[in-house]
């Protein structure tokens, strides 16, 4: 009896320690989540898998030994539980710990209000390229391409006709002289070539901005895909855990009818089951919410996306120096800022050339109608040149210089902010990976011991069903915490890829 009391005390003490451990990790998750939302990441061009890798980070092996095997002993304590034992009892921990977000379809996500379609990440990104938003973004390039066409065109010639009418003396309309002339502006100082070059730079900058917008959309799709995959996994964990609680509820109700347990125990278990049902409903609502956000990004209104194939953390070790080099070379926002600055500098040269006068060559014919001393008409040629006395293009040059200064400052700001964001994302990722590793080790160490204590204590009759339920609940909470931490790690990795300009990379 003393031995059983001692084991009961150890089990309760270990259960309290496990709860304190979970609370500590919840605080860590909250602090890292605050860090991870400090900035919005832009991202873009893909990079090879080995460009920023050192060596794979070891990932926790499947924890097949963490199973709720002691439920067999719980059910076998009473004859009424023999039918319960015939039902399927798959271990709840194997769902979350066999593989990080295992490659499963979302067939188990039932009770969907709208039609659903299961897609892999690569399929969603392929759909993203043809969404109405992306089509609209690509169409904006037609505007700057029209400016390029305008730059290629030569100025139109002008046709002039003049008729001289006699106002005094004898007037004969048939003898009034006529004058015809054609003039053509001449771009002699390279204005046309500079305009074409500037238009090409504007097109390049616009293309880079479209790619930057696309990279932002890719980040959002991957971010929500990871969240949706984890939340679907959480729904499966809660559903299987609820099945265990339902079986225990039926067992306790059977014992209550025979007078083995108190009515309080029955009500306590029913309350626990209802709480789990509410938690499952909330998890399904989160799945629907994230799925709806993905549908908005993918431009579909007829069905809601679900994940297939799953995602898991990357087995790569990021190095800051290589990520920084990639950021400076291929980050879409930085490339767009650089090209916008180049176009602004070209606009200064164009404004300087357009301030120069554009001469016009004129060729004409004067018809005298009434010959005077054998003079019936004459052909003439002339040149007219604007005189830059008041307007010498000062305003256009000042505007171009101001725009170039703004573009240069914007490029510097984008570079500094992206570099700082890369440092932040790497620091957050390092802490989250360490937390995930420690968390896995804590679960391995504590849960088997709690399992043995629960089994031994129940066999000796010192642990009631309610206390055993409390022990079962300790097996569910770590799974959900693990999935939450897993989601945070994957989000941090996406932010690192986005800050380095490699958001389209590392897609299996």
What is the DSSP-derived secondary structure letter of residue 60? P
pLDDT of residue 80: 38
Over the stretch 11-25, which tens digit does the pLDDT of each residue have?
455 555 555 554 554
Q: β-strand 375-384 against 158-163: which pairing, if any? A: unpaired
pLDDT of 160 strictly over 60: yes
Is 25 or 439 the better-scoring residue by pLDDT? Answer: 439
pLDDT of residue 32: 44
Identify the weakest region by mean pLDDT among 264-273, 324-333, 404-413. Answer: 264-273
Within 8 A by CB and 6+ apart from 50, the residues are: none
pLDDT of residue 505: 87
Is 213 or 75 the better-scoring residue by pLDDT? Answer: 213
CB-based contact 113:258 (threshold 8 Å): no
Classified as helix, coil or strand, 455 is: helix
pLDDT tier for residue 415 given thresholds of 50, 70 and 90: very high
Beta carbons within 10 angstroms of residue 257's beta carbon: 11
pLDDT of residue 29: 46
Q: What is the rounded distance in angstroms from the CA atom of residue 38 to the CA atom of residue 191?
A: 47
Ordered alpha helix ranges (H), 258-393: 263-298, 320-330, 332-354
The percentage of the chain sitting over the pLDDT mark of 90, rounded to a whole number, equals 42
For residue 491, the cross-strand partners are: none
Tokens of 231: 């939340």
Mean pLDDT, rounded, of the chain: 77
Classified as helix, coil or strand, 116 is: strand
Over the stretch 370-394, which tens digit does the pLDDT of each residue have?
555 555 677 889 898 888 888 888 9
pLDDT of residue 345: 95
Beta carbons within 10 angstroms of residue 221's beta carbon: 22
What's phi and psi for 393, nearest 5 deg?
75, 20
pLDDT of residue 256: 82
Over the stretch 277-319, which tens digit does the pLDDT of each residue have?
999 999 999 999 999 999 999 999 889 999 987 778 888 889 9
pLDDT of 232 strictly over 70: yes
Over the stretch 234-257, which tens digit does the pLDDT of each residue have?
999 899 888 877 887 887 788 788
On the CB side of 90, CA atoms within 13 Å amount to 11
pLDDT of 482 strictly over 80: yes
Instruction: Tell me the whole-structure pTM to 2 decimals.
Output: 0.73
Of 182, 152, 203, nearest in space to 346 by CA = 203
Tokens of 489: 């790690």
Over the stretch 44-64, which tens digit does the pLDDT of each residue have?
333 333 333 333 333 333 333
CB-based contact 414:333 (threshold 8 Å): yes
pLDDT of 93 strictly over 70: no
Classified as helix, coil or strand, 246 is: helix
Domains and their CATH numbers in the chain = 2-96+108-499 (1.20.1600.10)
Q: What is the rounded distance in angstroms from the CA atom of residue 338 to the CA atom of residue 204?
A: 10
Within 8 A by CB and 6+ apart from 445, the residues are: none
Q: β-strand 158-163 against 360-372: which pairing, if any? A: unpaired
Q: What is the rounded distance in angstroms from the CA atom of residue 328 to the CA atom of residue 276?
A: 49
């Amino acid at each position: 009896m003393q031995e059983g009391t001692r084991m009961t005390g150890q089990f309760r003490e270990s259960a309290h320690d496990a709860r304190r451990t979970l609370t500590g990790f919840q605080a860590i998750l909250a602090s890292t989540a605050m860090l991870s939302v400090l900035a919005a990441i832009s991202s873009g061009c893909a990079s090879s898998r080995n460009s920023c890798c050192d060596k794979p980070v070891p990932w926790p092996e499947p924890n097949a030994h963490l199973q709720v095997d002691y439920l067999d002993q719980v059910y076998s304590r009473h004859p009424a539980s023999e039918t319960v034992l015939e039902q399927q009892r798959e271990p709840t921990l194997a769902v979350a710990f066999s593989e990080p977000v295992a490659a499963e379809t979302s067939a188990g996500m039932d009770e969907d209000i709208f039609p659903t379609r299961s897609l892999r990440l690569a399929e969603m990104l392929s759909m993203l390229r043809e969404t109405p938003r992306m089509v609209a973004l690509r169409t904006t390039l037609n505007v700057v391409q029209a400016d390029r066409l305008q730059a290629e065109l030569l100025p139109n010639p002008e046709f002039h006709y003049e008729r001289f009418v006699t106002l005094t003396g004898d007037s004969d309309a048939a003898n009034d002289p006529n004058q015809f002339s054609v003039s053509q502006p001449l771009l002699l100082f390279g204005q046309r070539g500079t305009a074409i070059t500037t238009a090409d730079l504007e097109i390049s900058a616009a293309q880079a901005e479209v790619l930057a917008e696309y990279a932002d959309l890719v980040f959002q799709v991957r971010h929500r895909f990871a969240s949706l995959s984890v939340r679907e996994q959480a729904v499966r964990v809660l559903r299987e855990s609820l099945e265990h609680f339902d079986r225990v509820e039926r067992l306790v109700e059977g014992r209550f009818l025979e007078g083995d347990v108190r009515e309080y125990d029955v009500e306590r278990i029913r309350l626990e089951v209802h709480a789990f049902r509410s938690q499952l409903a909330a998890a399904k609502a989160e799945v629907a919410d994230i799925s709806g956000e993905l549908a908005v990004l993918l431009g579909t209104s007829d069905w809601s996306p679900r994940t297939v194939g799953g995602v898991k953390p990357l087995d790569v070790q990021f190095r800051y120096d290589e990520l920084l080099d990639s950021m400076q070379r291929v980050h879409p926002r930085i490339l767009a800022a650089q090209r916008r600055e180049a176009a602004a500098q070209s606009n200064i040269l164009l404004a300087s050339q357009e301030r120069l006068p554009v001469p016009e060559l004129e060729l004409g014919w004067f018809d005298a109608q009434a010959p005077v001393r054998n003079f019936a008409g004459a052909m003439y040629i002339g040149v007219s040149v604007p005189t830059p006395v008041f307007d010498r293009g000062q305003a256009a040059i000042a505007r171009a210089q101001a725009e170039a200064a703004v573009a240069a400052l914007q490029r510097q700001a984008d570079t500094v902010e992206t570099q700082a964001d890369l440092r932040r994302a790497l620091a957050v990722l390092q802490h989250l990976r360490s937390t995930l590793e420690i968390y896995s080790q804590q679960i391995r160490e504590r849960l088997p011991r709690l399992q043995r204590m629960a089994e031994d204590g129940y066999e000796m009759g010192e642990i009631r069903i309610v206390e055993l339920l409390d022990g079962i609940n300790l097996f569910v909470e770590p799974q959900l915490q693990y999935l939450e931490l897993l989601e945070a790690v994957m989000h941090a990795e996406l932010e690192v890829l986005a800050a380095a300009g490699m958001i389209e990379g590392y897609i299996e």
